[in-house]
Structure 1
Amino acid sequence: MRLLLAAAAIFLGCFMPPANASDQWVPVRDVSLEVQPGSPLDFSSFLPNGVIDADHRLVAGEGGRLAHAQSPKKPLRMLCSSLAWSPASGGFPDHEGAERYARQLALHGYNIARLHFTDASLMFGRQKDFDFDPETLDRIHYLLAALKRNGIYWIIDGLSSPRGAYGGHDDRWEANGDLKLRLHLDEEAFVHWKRLQETFLGRVNPYTGIAPIRDDALALVILANENGIEFDSVVHERPGEPAYEKALAAPFNRWLAKRYASTDQLAQAWGKLGDDERLETGTVRLPPDRYADSLRMRDLQAFFTELERASATRMSRSLRDLGYRGLISAYNNWPTIQTALSRRDVEAIAMNTYHDWVGGYAPGSALLQVSSIADGANYLRMIAAARWIGKPFIVSEYDHLFWNRYRYEAGLVMPAYASLQGWDVLCRHGHGPIVLAYGEPYPHKRAMLPYAIALDPVARAGETLAALLYRRGDVATSGLTVPFAVRGEDDLGEDMQAREPERLTELALTGGIGLVPADNIDDRVGVAQSRTQAAEEILTALRDSGSLSGINQTDTEAGLHESDTGQIRLDRRAGQLRVSTTATEAAAFSSLREPIDLGILRIEQADGDGLVALSAIDRHPSLAQSRRMLLIFATDAQNSGMIFRDSEEKVIEDFGSLPVLIRKGNVDLALKRRAKWKISPVGLDGTVYPPVRSGAGSIAFRLSNDTPYGPTTYFLLELEDG
């Protein structure tokens, strides 16, 4: 009886989302998602991908910005397609599928792709070390060639899976295995990693006639994904187990012995040692609790930094010995002071970041259901402060995760501020950014899931907007850069989680920020010399010096942030982000108490939260002149039959299934132009349907995303002389 009552309590505690009523959510009718050439969603005419050859290989150009080898003074913006396929998401496509997929990526505006977990795919089901599955290897080689033919460069992880190319494992996509840690400690692990590069990157691709490592299309190698020692230790931490692996104890003791002359000297530095701890016998213990601040922890961080820098140098040298000429990065997450020091020697900085992170797909997985605008885009600011100025900066992974109801914000927050910062690559993470159709028979494509943006109309609308704001360059790069002075090891403290404080990273919402060695910074105004400073103090100095306009409306205390370009305005308290440029005007809002005037576009009212954007997509990249404009209206989307354990929809019980449901919404819009006009729904594949609104003279209309042809996030606004 007790078990029955418990089961009943669980059942009664589960909620179908209240918004799943048929009058609020409507099913997507589209099946094919292949964008039609020449449609409003085909961006290849104004975002063309060129030939990839020696003259056009990507290099660190002037100021550390990515550029073509033949034109190093002309910075590029690379919109990245994340290809993190596994058997659960369908794996790598066959040749015909690869051709279609690569062409679709080009039509969508992608010009670089990141291949992630290729080692896991190659070794899936294999029992012997380095016994790559021949069909998977052939498919990867063909895909690389297809991407290159479509002008799409490559980013490849030297290692993604902690199982590497060892045979006999069936958990290659899980956080098991210790290869990432052993890379720093063990010669056999390094030899294994090196052989992996030789046997995959160093093997001739029969479809290009050249090994990937020597191919001009390979722009960046991330030596090993997320392989910082501290982060790896956190991932592998288990209840009741020591915080740090025993394998770290001996090398830590050897490092301490080089730094301190004796046990007594170490005791004076730390304050106290255990009775059984002796430097001379190598018995000094690792910190028992990583979250307890201590001088022991400070030295452990210094040890990790030295070890990680040496590892990256050694692995980089191996790639160069194999003939690689492209860029190299490492330690692409965990934006702490310690890891920033480990990254300072690598040629390019890559970082991963997430808003409202979700740990898995199992029932009981949870997120917070909070807005990224409400916290001032903190997930973006964290990685902005990890950038080393003067080096290319790559966002190798980011996402505002499903099923967070505010994820429409990501399509505006990340591309707008990535543009403002002058970042070089922007990669929204997922199994893949697109699919060719709904209904593929793979476990991870039967419903929208976290890290599966291709099936999500809201995420796809955001990626469409990113191609315009970021890659096309609608949002300008800041003319202001605030350097954060880095002294080196002296910046390490007793807290292993310490990072640049939020009161300083708020500066990223006004201008560019990044790290600079303290020795390279003069005494000019607008420098963060100390972590005790606040953004407002530096902004005042910049205004006083004339570096920032006196009319800039940034007021950190009021939660108001305006970019120095005047194009971006974030209002935490109102829950709004506004972008106003020549070619695009957009707003993401959780509330709309009064109209939003963006310049040409005015949002009069809406019946709920969402994203509205208007972009010129004809030969006149100006909303004041354009006759053909893409209108994006994104609300929320869920799977059919989703069940939550709580009324706030934080804890998932069942993800449900296709078809995807889009939340109905209405918005009243007006344009400060006069013309004969019509607005037509655009399907998720780019199909233009008959107009739903038209008029002459003043342009004003109520728009519903629930059209006679099914719900959509896209509309085409066309103007003629009236």
Structure 2
Amino acid sequence: MNIGSLLAAATLFFGCSAPPASGSDQWVPVREVSLEVRAGSPLDFSSFLPNGPIDAEHRLVAGTHGRLGFASSPETPVRMLCASLAWSPASGGFPDHDDADRYARQLALHGYNIARLHFVDASLMFGRQADFDFDPQTLDRIHYLLSALKRNGIYWIIEGLSSPRGAYGGYDDRWEANGNLKLALHLDEKAFQHWRTLQETFLSRVNPYTGVAPIRDDALALVILANENGIEFDSVVHERAGEPSYDARLAAPFNNWLAKRYRSTEMLMKSWGDLDDDERLERGSVKLPAERYSDSPRMRDVQAFFAEIERASAERLTEALRDLGYKGLISTYNNWPTMQTALSRSDLEAVTMNTYHDWVGGYSPGSALLQVSSIADGANYMRMIAAARWLEKPFIVSEYDHLFWNRYRYEGGLVMPAYAALQGFDVLCRHGHGPIVLSYGEPYPHKNAMLPYAIALDPVARAGETLAALLYRRGDVAISGITIPFAVRGEEDLGEDMQAREPERLTDLALVGRIGLQHADLFDGEIGVMQPRVQDSEDVLATLREGGVIDPENRTDVARGFYQSDTGEILLDRHAGQLRVLTRSTEAAAFSSLRQPIDLGVLRIEQTDGDGLVALSTLDVGAPLSQSRRMLLIFATDAQNTGMVFRDSEERIIEDFGSLPVLIRKNYADLTLSRTAATWRISPIGLDGTVYPPVESGTGSVSFRLSNDTAYGPTTYFLLELEEHG
């Protein structure tokens, strides 16, 4: 995670507001210390989400219609739930061999089948003074972890470059945005050679625990050439007050590009309409825009220049990896959903994107977020990246999160997994130092309290990841039966606004069906979004209805902020602040208000003491909720650290993150099932999977009040068991 880079993205793309949530203000401390899920417990998903062998037949490839599949069966799509491994010294670094075995096994139990290793270059070079002088203990631990992941059927995503310091020695700010290697990689031969040597010295080095170099290992599914390395984005990250918007090293290449396009100052002036007196194309003195937020023909050409440079750069880096023997998928430019970056991603083999709801800029006092709901803004952070994908290419969400301390983050476990499944995304990766920890109380600065980008310590985020394994990887939510392409002609689609992206009045189509970019010349009578973007979603939906593509009973009403997926499984009500998922195997609702009961089919939420997430999922393989005897009930509210202090009553600005133990906000929900049973019981499940004695039981009708504050401590999980009549 690049803190500086995310700041720019948040400033540009997020800005919805919503009233504070209501509910109980009582907070109960978590009692668990160990967080290792017990094998065979209701939280062990390995029996119905097994990870198979990783070998040549099961190498991940771009299969039929661009979906990920195995080399031996490319016609069968596979969904990959990703574990983000972004360790640094502050979060404990890479584990030793024993802990790596335990950790990899736990990831498999939780339902993960792929892992993304982030800032590996920074970890290898931490404290090192000479170029490429990798720390031998860290290298050994990384190699062993890769082998442990592979033994547990977990594939790898690795970045060719995460840190802007690369593998240069002598730096102690490797996790900051101070280096310039990402920009230089597009322009400078020495930077390219440095990057190539980095791939040789790490990816091409034989792993002693697997017997093969990672670059030739079937477990390496994807290489992201460099994380968040778009030229415009990198310039925003490095912009400082009083300095030019763009690095001076871009001036000469830009003038060369202009000279090929316009051939004379007069032709350039005819296109732009204005030039300063000292700007002459023949002297190479044409300037880059002085200010990136001012629209102009100059800015239009800057975008075209960046796209051309970035495509050429990606092609060169890709060729270098192929020369080293890599056969897997390759991607890059994995953030910022602008028109310009869409063109840069158009030639990639796979598309990767990062996105956040209510982004947080750091850990220091004064860091702030907006305290807004992702449902209230129509899942905008999901829609932005859905509209940035290229159809018929694998699509990987390499980072997403609904960040701590946002009080609505219980939504994150429903919004993104449900819509990722509907959209047919291939990989889903909730970003953090790691998705799990083995225990509370590890002696590292970033493990002393819940923090942004530290989902493993957060019971609310962990509940969301548990639900994601069911909704997304298990496939409880079906892929959309319709595809709505957004036509792209090419450079002519660029306007004078560098920040332009697909309009929200059209991206809300992602709440109904599958969307993505498609070259305009591939359209063949399809119903889609054309260029220029003069339509709105109501126009497109009306055409789909008239053509019988969408069921006439579909309840979508854009004016009311109500959206129903074409599958009928997902209902989003922006104004009520509710998202409902109704499938054969899972029924769930996230709600900021509950003015009347929510009837999901089998599960009915009668009332609650506040906002939150309630989900019911079958644990019986093949059995729907209507027939299941063992069901996992998830009840998530909010969680904070002990002694957490804010500067404002809305809890937007942090003063002190506090410390462990974690506190869960107390809440209750009155629930009813449309089923009867000879006997039924509901038992709390600890965060480690321990099943405690029942807290509610009965016969006949299944109806009970569920409190997350049990005699065994607060929890987000419960086991509901039914015994059928005779």
- Determine the structure 2 residue equivalent to 1:274: 276
Match of 1:547 among 546, 549, 562: 549
Match of 1:718 among 701, 718, 721: 721
Question: Are positions 1:432 and 2:434 aligned together?
Answer: yes
Distance in 1 of aligned mates of 2:434 and 2:546: 47
- Where does structure 1 differ by over 4 angstroms across 4 or more consecutive aligned residues? 18-23
- Determine the structure 1 residue equivalent to 2:472: 470
Residue by residue, what CA displacement relative to the aligned partner does 1:208-257 show, whole Å, maximum 9, x if unpaired? 00000000000000000000000000000111110000000010001000
Is 2:339–2:501's contact at 8 Å kept on the other side of the alignment? yes
Map 1:477-626; keep pairs closer than 5 Å: 477-626=479-628
Is 1:528–1:538's contact at 8 Å kept on the other side of the alignment? no
Is 1:596–1:602's contact at 8 Å kept on the other side of the alignment? yes
Question: Residue 670 and residue 19 in structure 1: after superposition, are their counterparts in 2 closer, same or farther (change >3 A)?
Answer: closer
Residue by residue, what CA displacement relative to the aligned partner does 1:134-154 show, whole Å, maximum 9, x if unpaired? 000000000000000000000
Q: CA deviation at 1:522?
A: 1.9
Distance in 2 of aligned mates of 1:524 and 1:228: 32
Is 1:353–1:379's contact at 8 Å kept on the other side of the alignment? yes
Residue by residue, what CA displacement relative to the aligned partner does 1:275-320 show, whole Å, maximum 9, x if unpaired? 0001001100010000000100000000000000000000000000
Match of 2:712 among 705, 709, 714: 709
Distance in 2 of aligned mates of 1:526 and 1:192: 44
SS of residue paired to 2:568: coil
Question: Are positions 1:353 and 2:355 aligned together?
Answer: yes
Q: CA deviation at 1:21?
A: 13
Match of 1:700 among 700, 703, 708: 703
Distance in 2 of aligned mates of 1:587 and 1:177: 44
Residue by residue, what CA displacement relative to the aligned partner does 1:564-596 show, whole Å, maximum 9, x if unpaired? 000000000000000000000000000000000
Distance in 1 of aligned mates of 2:238 and 2:458: 31
- Determine the structure 1 residue equivalent to 2:6: none
Distance in 1 of aligned mates of 2:546 and 2:526: 12
Distance in 1 of aligned mates of 2:220 and 2:25: 49
Distance in 2 of aligned mates of 1:551 and 1:237: 51
Query: How does the TM-score come out when normalised to structure 2?
Result: 0.96
Which amino acid in the other structure matches residue 375 of structure 2? Answer: I
Which amino acid in the other structure matches residue 654 of structure 2? Answer: I
Distance in 2 of aligned mates of 1:484 and 1:621: 38
Match of 1:689 among 673, 687, 692: 692
Q: CA deviation at 1:380?
A: 0.3
- Determine the structure 1 residue equivalent to 2:12: none
SS of residue paired to 1:183: helix
Distance in 2 of aligned mates of 1:190 and 1:270: 33
- Determine the structure 2 residue equivalent to 1:10: none
5+ residue gaps, structure 1, are 1-17
Question: Residue 527 and residue 242 in structure 1: after superposition, are their counterparts in 2 closer, same or farther (change >3 A)?
Answer: closer
Which amino acid in the other structure matches residue 254 of structure 1? Answer: N
Q: CA deviation at 1:23?
A: 6.8
Match of 1:456 among 446, 455, 458: 458
- Determine the structure 1 residue equivalent to 2:97: 95
Identity, % of aligned pairs? 79
Q: CA deviation at 1:619?
A: 2.6
Is 2:22–2:611's contact at 8 Å kept on the other side of the alignment? no
Distance in 2 of aligned mates of 1:337 and 1:21: 42
Question: Residue 712 and residue 194 in structure 1: after superposition, are their counterparts in 2 closer, same or farther (change >3 A)?
Answer: same
CA RMSD of aligned residues (A): 1.2
Distance in 1 of aligned mates of 2:251 and 2:132: 31
Which amino acid in the other structure matches residue 697 of structure 2? Answer: S
Question: Residue 138 and residue 270 in structure 1: after superposition, are their counterparts in 2 closer, same or farther (change >3 A)?
Answer: same
Map 1:297-376; keep pairs closer than 5 Å: 297-376=299-378
- Determine the structure 1 residue equivalent to 2:665: 663
Distance in 1 of aligned mates of 2:671 and 2:245: 56
Is 2:23–2:667's contact at 8 Å kept on the other side of the alignment? no
Q: CA deviation at 1:529?
A: 4.1
Distance in 2 of aligned mates of 1:475 and 1:23: 34
Distance in 2 of aligned mates of 1:26 and 1:20: 17
Map 1:44-55; keep pairs closer than 5 Å: 44-55=46-57
Map 1:119-158; keep pairs closer than 5 Å: 119-158=121-160
Is 1:82–1:115's contact at 8 Å kept on the other side of the alignment? yes
Query: How does the TM-score come out when normalised to structure 1?
Result: 0.97
Which amino acid in the other structure matches residue 411 of structure 2? Answer: E
- Determine the structure 2 residue equivalent to 1:7: none
Q: CA deviation at 1:531?
A: 1.3
Map 1:181-260; keep pairs closer than 5 Å: 181-260=183-262
Distance in 1 of aligned mates of 2:73 and 2:50: 17
Question: Are positions 1:43 and 2:45 aligned together?
Answer: yes
Distance in 2 of aligned mates of 1:330 and 1:721: 53
Distance in 2 of aligned mates of 1:506 and 1:300: 29
Residue by residue, what CA displacement relative to the aligned partner does 1:577-629 show, whole Å, maximum 9, x if unpaired? 00000000000000000000001000000110000000001234310111000
Residue by residue, what CA displacement relative to the aligned partner does 1:74-106 show, whole Å, maximum 9, x if unpaired? 000000000000000000000000000000000
Residue by residue, what CA displacement relative to the aligned partner does 1:401-460 show, whole Å, maximum 9, x if unpaired? 000000000000000000000010000000000000000000000000000000000000
Which amino acid in the other structure matches residue 716 of structure 2? Answer: T
Q: CA deviation at 1:527?
A: 4.0
Q: CA deviation at 1:129?
A: 0.2
5+ residue gaps, structure 2, are 1-19
SS of residue paired to 2:535: coil
Question: Residue 20 and residue 590 in structure 1: after superposition, are their counterparts in 2 closer, same or farther (change >3 A)?
Answer: closer
Q: CA deviation at 1:528?
A: 3.7
Residue by residue, what CA displacement relative to the aligned partner does 1:342-384 show, whole Å, maximum 9, x if unpaired? 0000100000000000010010000000000000000000000
Which amino acid in the other structure matches residue 121 of structure 1? Answer: S
Distance in 1 of aligned mates of 2:551 and 2:25: 49
Residue by residue, what CA displacement relative to the aligned partner does 1:445-487 show, whole Å, maximum 9, x if unpaired? 0000000000000000000000000000000000000000001
Distance in 1 of aligned mates of 2:614 and 2:190: 54
Is 1:526–1:542's contact at 8 Å kept on the other side of the alignment? no
Is 2:24–2:610's contact at 8 Å kept on the other side of the alignment? no
Residue by residue, what CA displacement relative to the aligned partner does 1:20-78 show, whole Å, maximum 9, x if unpaired? 99970000000000000000000000000000000000000000000000001100000
Residue by residue, what CA displacement relative to the aligned partner does 1:95-142 show, whole Å, maximum 9, x if unpaired? 000000000000000000000000000000000000000000000000
Which amino acid in the other structure matches residue 718 of structure 1? Answer: E
Q: CA deviation at 1:721?
A: 2.0
Distance in 2 of aligned mates of 1:501 and 1:402: 28
SS of residue paired to 1:201: coil
Distance in 2 of aligned mates of 1:533 and 1:359: 35
Q: CA deviation at 1:532?
A: 1.7
Distance in 1 of aligned mates of 2:177 and 2:456: 24
Distance in 1 of aligned mates of 2:325 and 2:159: 17
SS of residue paired to 1:277: coil
Question: Residue 19 and residue 220 in structure 1: after superposition, are their counterparts in 2 closer, same or farther (change >3 A)?
Answer: closer
Is 2:23–2:609's contact at 8 Å kept on the other side of the alignment? no
Residue by residue, what CA displacement relative to the aligned partner does 1:478-536 show, whole Å, maximum 9, x if unpaired? 00000000010001000000000001100000000000000000233344443121001
Distance in 2 of aligned mates of 1:87 and 1:78: 28
SS of residue paired to 1:258: helix
Distance in 2 of aligned mates of 1:620 and 1:249: 61
Q: CA deviation at 1:709?
A: 0.2
Match of 2:63 among 61, 64, 88: 61
How many residues of Structure 1 are paired with residues of Structure 2 in the alignment?
A: 705
Distance in 2 of aligned mates of 1:652 and 1:572: 28
Q: CA deviation at 1:562?
A: 0.2
Is 1:482–1:528's contact at 8 Å kept on the other side of the alignment? no
